[in-house]
Each structure stands twice: as C-alpha cells, then as structure tokens.
Amino acid sequence: MADESKPKSPKSGGPDLLSVAGLAVALAGILGGLVLEGGKLRDVSQLTAAIIVLGGTAGSVMVSTPGFVLKGALRRLGGVFHDAAPPLRMLIEELTAYSSKARKTGLVSLEDEADQIADPFLKKALTLAVDGTDLQEIRNMLELEISLAEHDAEAEAKVFESAGGYAPTIGIIGAVLGLIQVMKNLANIDEVGHGIAVAFVATVYGVALANLFLLPAASKIKARAQAETRRREMILEGVSGIVEGLNPKLVQAKLESFMHAVPEKAAKDAAKGSAKASVAQPAEA
C-alpha cells in the first residue's frame, strides 16, 4: 500500500507523427506533381547527384562546426521524429503529489522518491531541496543549468541551419559538374538533352534536402528546446513552492499557468518569481 501512495514519474512521450506526416506529404506532393506532369520517378533518381550533395554538405558542416557541437546536433536528430518529454499535465500531478507529501511529513520524507526519479533535472532539483539547500541557491544553480541548455540547443540547431544553407549551393556545384560532362558530348544532341536533365537533378536534391529536412529540423529542434525550457522552469517553480511549504493547491494552480500559451519571456519571469502576474493573466482569461 505504501508503494501505491508514492508519486509516479511521468512516462516519456512518443513518436512525433506530425513530423513524419509532414515529410511524407511534402515528398508525395513533389513526386506526385512530377508524375502528373508526365515525368517519371527515375528522372530524379541519380546516385551521383545524391553523393555530391550529401557528401559536399556533410563535409562543409564538418569544416564549419566544432566536433562536440556536431555530436550534440546528431544526438538531437532523433528528437525531430520523437518527442521524449512527458506531458506537462502528468508533471504537474507529480509535483503536486510531492508538495502534498512534503507538507504532511516534511521535505526529508521525499528522499526516497528523489532517488528513484528518472528525470535528471527533476531529480537534481528535488535532491537539493531535500538536502536543505537554500532556496536562492537552488534557483541560481538550476537557472544556470537552464540557460546553458538553451545555449547548447541553439548552437546545435544552427548546425542544421548551416547545412540547409550549404546544400543548395552544393547542388549547384553538382549541376555545373554535370554540365561540364554535357559539353563533352555536344556532337550528340540526344545525349546533350539527357545530360542537362541529369545535371539539374543535383540542384533539385540540394534545394529539397535543405527545405524539406534540414531547415525544418532546425526549427523543430528549437521548438523542442523551448518546450524543454518551459518544462524545466515548471519544475523549478514547483520545487520552489515545495521548499516554501506552499499549499499543494496553490502549487498546482501556479504550475497550471505553464499549460497556457504564454510567451517564453513570461515563463522565464514566472520561474524567477519576478513577474507572477504576467502568467496569471492568461490563466484567468
């Protein structure tokens, strides 16, 4: 029975079907339009062009990006198609349960729960609270961690933005290389026409890679980072309420403010406790 009363850590999210569907719709629209215009899929199936665009883009990114940033960007790639963050509603319920238990039996009673938490940020925040760390010190430490995580996410998103800028240019290089080969066969007009068509496939690959995947991936990484920042700020606000000994219902009401579409700056101000009214207004509306 004792185990049933313990707050349960929220489960992680699942596949981001919107990203998968979006990529599928984009490809279907482009290739479908090609077929409707009388073209064939093999018209845009060129291994050489793919090698030029993918290899050239990857090489450019490697030259322009520090190794540790590139590794971080590759790790974030899975987040484009998978949302690992649990729903905010479940996090609110978990923090409210911790608040209720702490108010009844004291902060030290949360020590066992803190050891079992899977979320590193929540575990760290609750552990600091249980250890009796000063609230201002907790805020300073966690706000610094949030800020550094934001900076890392921004740098890693820029990797894909840079790749999205390189890919079309590399595609043009591929087209020029193809045209050079075409110029060698000017005596055969049939070969010239076919060669020009093949040459421009590299341009199609470069533009498509940039606009269908690389740039959208950068935007999705930024969106994930903003959502993670809000989630961490919610944790910070919830743990602060627990340390202050606030009524669990008040803690829950404060955390529910983060469920609304408040501006990012307002969420940050709420976590710092300096603009409480700015997040309360959307909830009242």
Question: Which whole number is the average pLDDT over 196-224?
Answer: 90
pLDDT digits (tens, 9 = 90+) for 90-148: 899 999 999 999 888 888 888 888 888 888 999 999 999 998 889 999 999 999 999 99
| Predicted confidence band of residue 262 (pLDDT cuts 50, 70, 90) | very low
**Residue 4 reports pLDDT greater than 60:** no
The answer to whether 91 and 235 have CB atoms below 8 angstroms apart is: yes
Q: Where are the domains of the chain?
A: 46-278
Map tokens 């590193």 to a residue: 120
Q: Specify the pLDDT at position 284.
A: 40
Closest CA to 95 of 7, 11, 12, 13: 7
Spatial separation of the C-alpha atoms in residues 11 and 94, rounded to whole Å: 11
Question: Of 57-66, 113-122, 203-212, 263-272, which range is least confident?
Answer: 263-272
Q: Specify the pLDDT at position 205.
A: 92
Closest CA to 123 of 98, 147, 102: 98
| Predicted confidence band of residue 266 (pLDDT cuts 50, 70, 90) | very low
Question: Of 25-29, 169-173, 194-198, 255-259, which range is least confident?
Answer: 194-198
Question: Of 117-121, 151-155, 192-196, 254-258, which range is least confident?
Answer: 192-196
Q: Specify the pLDDT at position 281.
A: 39
**Residue 76 reports pLDDT greater than 60:** yes
Question: Which whole number is the average pLDDT over 234-251?
Answer: 91
Spatial separation of the C-alpha atoms in residues 202 and 180, rounded to whole Å: 14
Q: Supply angle C-alpha 276, 277, 281, rounded to 5.
A: 130
**Residue 190 reports pLDDT greater than 70:** no
